[in-house]
Amino acid sequence: MYDGNLGGKRKIDINEINKSLVLIHTMSDANKEAQSTSIVPGLSDYNDIKDFLAKHSITKNVNKKVITNTRIGDSKTSIHGGSYHISDAEYDTFLKLYYRDVVSKNKKEYLTEKQRDNDGPLVVDLDFR
């Protein structure tokens, strides 16, 4: 954390919010008006869910990021498997894109979500065919 006086402005840089989110908060000493800028991408930064997943794709044992989601491939529908890291900061954007591009259009998708180790619910998946 940095807290110093920079030419009449005080700058606070918070770098450890989920290690993915950087929030820079600048406050003017003269008028005490706060301005916040988030550099976390939103819906308008992605064309669709495929674009979002492509930008969050990771390779096992190469990236140091934790795999949060996986995709089971299906050659019949041209869905390719993969591993992804979606931070908590971008999860809301992911869910909105997923709903907009998959659920509302009744498309097939084969994404799985990794269970959280310490703070998630106990989840049971029952498949009745």
Q: Is the dihedral of CA 64, 58, 97, 72 positive or negative?
A: negative
pLDDT of residue 43: 84
Does the pTM surpass 0.85? The reply is: no
Q: Would you give the DSSP letter of residue 77?
A: G
Q: Which residues contact 65 (CB under 8 A, 6 or more apart)?
A: 58, 85
* Phi and psi angles of residue 71, each rounded to the nearest 5 degrees, phi first: -125, 130
* Tens of pLDDT, residues 93-116: 999 999 999 999 999 888 988 877
Beta strands in the chain (DSSP E): 2-6, 9-17, 21-28, 34-38, 57-58, 69-71, 82-84, 111-113
pLDDT band at 32 (very low <50, low <70, confident <90, very high): very low
